[in-house]
Amino acid sequence: MADIKYRRILLKLSGEALAGDQGYGIDPEVINGIAAEIGEVVALGVEVALVIGGGNIFRGLAASSKGMDRASADYMGMLATVMNSLAMQDALEKQDVVTRVQSAIDMQQIAEPYIRRRAVRHLEKGRVVIFSAGTGNPYFTTDTAASLRAMEIGAEVILKATKVDGVYSADPAKDKNAVKLDDLTYLEVLQKGLQVMDATATSLCMDNDLPMIIFDLTRRGNIMKVVCGEMIGTIVKGGATDA
């Protein structure tokens, strides 16, 4: 059996990750692949919580920039995350992974309300918990929701799944001289304005000393590698004095 480094994780997926190459909506092949990887990790006894963005269906910030009321746009974005969460629940349960969706916005027919103690109990029983509807408040991103929920449930690390294999000094698609950064402090992320998470989420993690690993979701088996402590992607942790 593999050595496990992290026993309780929060996996943050962007909505775009579920869209695959089609760019919008949910690609069944992609979501089933992610669910299979999560199932493998759960089978090792790792407790997994999930936060999924809604950008493949609706982006509140983009809509508000075109004149829509920001609060209304953000609430629509939160509902998009619920749709993604239900799709992920279905994909996970097809892998025989017991799953619960908890929503920050009350919608009893399809999801439990978010209750911290109940979420922790589900994790202890080996169930995957999907936190949907962000924080339930406009003006906060799903990155911030991921940071907040990770701390509330006592996660040991946030795994931020992206389409690149870590954080670079510049956009590798635009700059040939971009260098991959293996480790960063949260302070460096804030000072350099690196697009890892928004400033609120980054500050929350820094204040509570919660490490985050940014890694490439498109490579099969990467979730398992991270959980087992293999050095892939970029780790962000601590302050300027940490190694």
**What pLDDT is recorded for position 240?**
47
**What pLDDT is recorded for position 192?**
86
The number of distinct structural domains making up the chain is: 1
**What pLDDT is recorded for position 239?**
62
Domain annotation covers residue 1: no
Domain annotation covers residue 12: yes
Q: Categorise residue 223: left if φ over 0, alpha if ψ from -120 to 50, beta otherwise.
A: alpha
**What pLDDT is recorded for position 194?**
85
Angle formed by the axes of helices 199-207 and 142-152, to 10°?
20
**What pLDDT is recorded for position 175?**
87
225 neighbors 172 (Cβ within 8 angstroms): no
**What pLDDT is recorded for position 23?**
85
> Residue 18: which domain range?
8-236
Q: Residue 228: give its domain's CATH number.
A: 3.40.1160.10
**What pLDDT is recorded for position 81?**
98
Task: Write the pLDDT tens digit of every residue in 34-59.
Answer: 999 999 999 999 999 999 999 999 98
Domain annotation covers residue 241: no
Domain annotation covers residue 212: yes
Task: Write the pLDDT tens digit of every residue in 111-154.
Answer: 999 999 999 999 999 999 999 999 999 999 999 999 999 999 99
| Rounded mean pLDDT for each run of 10 residues along the chain, 243 residues in total | 87 94 93 97 97 94 92 96 98 98 97 98 98 97 97 97 88 85 92 87 94 94 95 84 42
**What pLDDT is recorded for position 2?**
61
Domain annotation covers residue 104: yes
113 neighbors 87 (Cβ within 8 angstroms): no
167-168/180-181 β-pairing: antiparallel
Residue 78 CA from chain centroid, whole number: 14
Domain annotation covers residue 176: yes
Domain annotation covers residue 3: no
Domain annotation covers residue 84: yes
